[in-house]
Structure 1
Amino acid sequence: MISVCIYGSEARRRTDILSDRDLLIIGDSQEAAVDECQRWKADGWNVSFFTQQHFTRLIDFQSLFVQHIKLEGIIIRDDNAHLKSQLEQFCPAKSYVADLKDALLPVDWIDRYEERYWARLCIGDILFVAARNVGILYAATNGIHVYDYPTVIEYLSASFSLDASQRTALFSLRHLKAAYRARSTEIDATGALLKSVLVMKDIRDAISPLEDSPTRDFLPNNYHALRRAELELVRNYDPRDLDRKTPSHEFFELWQLVCNPADYPKLRAMSDRSATLNLRLPSEIRQRAGLIERQPNNFAPASPSRAPVRLRAGDRCT
């Protein structure tokens, strides 16, 4: 049983050169959906795959990703109308304050004065995800559901009285994210990072006193641990070289997990088995990355469509 749904900017009919073509595929198992996934990926879609078990778990945890699909998704295949039925019955939570605080955790461990080029772009990518998720979660806590990045940033700007330069810094993160995933070598990230980190810290401080509903739990998925490991890797290695690693290389499995959204169920499975993300990394990198705890994140996929792309006229990369 398979369901296929277009979501994101393509579903909203609001695309530009930085937009992704996002597709959700849900199946009983990854093996059962492999042909469907490969067909869409071959056509240039960024495929996020979930087993039915994992998607049901997102529903149980009232994930806003499910609400995103419910409000904006375009279902193009739905065996037994299973996804449609699930979405019709789904209701989001009234508060996502704990998720908000979790989404802001990277502000505590990134270095806004990072000197290495690829690490700066990676931080831009991490901050883009954080700003997007914080906006989505904060709006949802106030009963508003928005998912388009420009709209999300405008909502944050109005909610936290950001000035024009602060708003511009958050908008620039989308370009840094696209440059990082396209492996572009021609973008200056320094100014935007300095400003956007300070903006996110101000938002974190404003949100910190808020209290969440005690009835909700997190859906752990090791996302923060993975991003910290990724950041330490690109501090020491060129991501273009990591993209070319073969299965025999010690970093191959980790880098595939970083770049391939179809492997995110594996990341969630790791968090089910252990509080520690067991990555094959040199001990010094593990130590610098702080890979010692499980960090939850309830807006999933936390960073959909992580696969590197090459930008050219007409390409879309969210």
Structure 2
Amino acid sequence: MKENVIAGQFSVLIGSYARGTATLDSDVDILRIGHVRQVPLPIFIPKDGVKSFIDYDQVLFTELYDSGSLFLKHVFQEGILLEGRHDEWLSIKENFKVAEVFDEEIRKYAELLLFSSAFIEYRKAVIPYLSTAFKAAKNIGIFHLASNKVFVFDKKMALVNGCGIELRDAEMLLRANQCYERFSLLPPPLRNKRTGRVLCHLERG
């Protein structure tokens, strides 16, 4: 099985466009395995969409595969194959076994949350803090749910179902992260008491 994984070259659409939940703000997430060339996109992908590539060489992909990576579970569960041999990809998917224990991953992201909440520079930079908190909490939620055999990779649902954050607060965190990553300002309606409530929720963890 290891040789089959290493030998193939694949392009896989993942994320919200693969799930069918994309919005105008969504990135086009593409995993490239064994290559870094341009990838032809399906007609339902907007030409001006912001593309985000995740590139693995075949050795790293194999290491993640053998370790039962939860990210690869996401790829196999929701991804749409754009390039590569379908029979090889199907064989890889069918033989994959996801890990069962994610305590170390949860601990790592919990430490990131604690560090960011204590980081003095963030006191004058709410948006960068919310972006960091979003990423950490989202991953905690995903790994927590996976520990209970619930595989959810939608960011908002990971925050809501995995961390117990209210939906509107999860949406605010997601928006703050998008603003930070795209160098735009957080809209005034989001600069309110809700921000403070979310910060307290995350710090209590």
Secondary structure in structure 2 of the residue aligned to 1:144: coil
For residue 10 of structure 1, report the CA deviation from its aligned partner. Answer: 0.2
Alignment-derived partner of residue 308 in structure 1:
none
The question of whether the paired residues in 1 share the 8 Å contact of 2:142 and 2:162 is answered with no
Instruction: Pick closer, same or farther for the CA change 1:194–1:63 going to 2, 3 Å.
Output: farther
Contact kept in structure 2, 1:26 and 1:52, CA below 8 Å: yes
Taking the TM superposition and a 5 Å limit, the aligned residue runs for 1:62-81 are: 62-79=68-85, 81=87
Rounded Cα–Cα distance in structure 2 between residues aligned with 1:111 and 1:190: 19
1:50 corresponds, among 47, 56, 59, to 56
Mark the CA change 1:128 to 1:23 in structure 2 (over 3 Å): closer, same or farther. same
Change (3 A) 1:83 1:123: farther
* Cross-structure match for 2:11: 4
The 5-angstrom pairing of residues 222-261 of structure 1 reads none
Residue in structure 2 matched with residue 88 of structure 1 by the alignment = 94
Aligned equivalent of 1:195: 197
Counterpart of 1:57, as a letter, is: E
Instruction: State the alpha-carbon separation in 2 of the partners of residues 34 and 141 from structure 1.
Output: 33
Q: TM-score, normalised by structure 1?
A: 0.53
CA contact (8 A) 1:132 1:149 kept: yes
1:35 aligned residue: 37
Count residues in correspondence. Answer: 189
Q: Which has the higher contact order (CA 8 A, sep 6+)?
A: 1
Instruction: Note if contact 1:104-1:200 (Cα within 8 Å) is conserved in structure 2.
Output: no
Match of 1:175? 175
Q: Which runs of 5+ in 1 are unaligned?
A: 28-32, 204-318
Identity of aligned pairs, percent? Answer: 22
CA distance in 1, matches of 2:81, 2:139: 23
The aligned counterpart of 1:134 is: 140
Deviations 1:15-67 (A, max 9, x none): 1123221111100xxxxx23336x77997421111111111111122211000
Maintained 8 Å contact 1:124/1:176: yes
In structure 2, what is the Cα distance between the partners aligned to 1:176 and 1:10? 20
Equivalent residue of 2:38, what SS? helix
* Residue among 16, 22, 36 paired with 1:15: 22
1:24 aligns with 2:8: no
Mark the CA change 1:59 to 1:22 in structure 2 (over 3 Å): closer, same or farther. same
CA distance in 1, matches of 2:82, 2:37: 16
- After TM superposition, give the deviation of residue 191 of structure 1 in Å: 4.8
Distance 1:73 1:82 in 2: 15
TM-aligned CA distance change 1:194 to 1:11, over 3 Å = same
Q: Contact 1:25–1:48 at 8 Å: present in 2 too?
A: yes
AA of the residue aligned to 2:199: V
1:86 to 1:148, Cα distance in 2 relative to 1, 3 A? same
Distance in 2, Cα, partners of 1:5 & 1:56? 16
Given that 2:27 and 2:49 are in contact with CA atoms closer than 8 Å, whether structure 1 keeps it comes out as no
Q: Aligned-pair distance for 1:192?
A: 5.1
